[in-house]
Homo-oligomer: A and B are copies of this chain.
Amino acid sequence: MAETAPALLVVSAHAGDFVWRAGGAIAAATMRGERATVVCLSYGERGESASQWLAGKDLDEIKATRRGEAEAAASALGADIVFLDLGDYPLRESPEAVAALVDVYRRVQPTVVLTHPLADPYNGDHPAAARMALEARVLAQAIGVANSDGTFPTKDEIIGAPPVFFFEPHQPEQSDFKPNVLLDITDAFPLKRAAMECLPAQKHMWSYYTDLAIRRGVQVKRNAGPNLGLAHDTMGEAYMRYFPQVTGLLE
């Protein structure tokens, strides 16, 4: 896959997830000039929009609002965004949804995939998104699996086996999330912060996820060098690699 142009694919259960959890990785990629594509499987219209429901908004209004916010956030990060509008709470797995994702994989030809971890006792949509993202990734590699329009892919249209990284859930320990990759997002953090600020309904999350970036940044430093005092200027995001890293260099 060395000859392939880098391309990041982010599979997000709801419209906001990719911002809080992977905004740094996305911004870092686009700042390097790479393509990044976000797929929102739903808008999070039922499960993550309580304040709008309380304010008397109806389903279509809520979906439109969340779509607009997500588009703005993706734009701030330099990423493309696609909405599959599969519904949330619950996000139901289906052959059709997986087939739509297979098409996305073959179009995007991702070299890296980000999605939710496979466990989350607080929100079943997140593991459902991960399961579909993983199933589609395997199917998209097979030349015998048709596209959703019934045509078969050419040898160039099938994908390789891109690495998958799970991004951080809201309550990591309860979701069996043990980070094995700490990403330094110091340079990308201003874009992540800008993207967070595209989501005004969750203003209290801005500081929460800024604090988390500091905390993970401290761990970046603790895992990278001598512990002569903790500096607070490194920002980080935590990831959990699903497949073994393939490398020519231990470092």
Map CB proximity to B onto A234-251 as digits: 1 under 8 Å, 0 otherwise: 000011011111111111
* Docked CA distance A101–B223 (Å): 20
On whether the beta carbons of B246 and A184 are closer than 8 Å, the reply is yes
On whether the beta carbons of B155 and A121 are closer than 8 Å, the reply is no
Complex partner residue of A46 from B54, B142, B214, CB under 8 angstroms: B142
A68 interface contact, C-beta 8 A: no
Map CB proximity to B onto A194-223 as digits: 1 under 8 Å, 0 otherwise: 000000000011011001101100111011
- Assuming the contacts A181-B247, A219-B171, asked whether A142 and B51 have C-beta atoms less than 8 A apart, the reply is no
* Docked CA distance A65–B181 (Å): 37
> Which chain B positions have C-beta within 8 A of A165?
250
A170 interface contact, C-beta 8 A: yes
Map CB proximity to B onto A134-170 as digits: 1 under 8 Å, 0 otherwise: 1100110111110000001001001111010100001
Which A residues, 100 to 118, have Cβ-Cβ distances below 8 Å to chain B?
A: 111-112, 114
- Classify chain A: how many residues form its interface, as a range: 35 or more
- Closest residue of chain B to A8 (Cβ to Cβ) is B250
- Assuming the contacts A53-B144, A160-B224, A227-B50, asked whether A122 and B95 have C-beta atoms less than 8 A apart, the reply is no
On whether the beta carbons of A159 and B226 are closer than 8 Å, the reply is yes
Map CB proximity to B onto A38-56 as digits: 1 under 8 Å, 0 otherwise: 0000000111011101100
- Assuming the contacts A89-B139, A143-B53, asked whether A183 and B219 have C-beta atoms less than 8 A apart, the reply is no
Counting chain B CB atoms within 10 Å of each CB, the highest count among A29, A50, A98, A152 belongs to A50
Given contacts A121-B134, A174-B179, A223-B246, 7 further A-B contacts (CB under 8 A): A112-B250, A165-B250, A181-B244, A208-B214, A208-B215, A208-B218, A223-B244
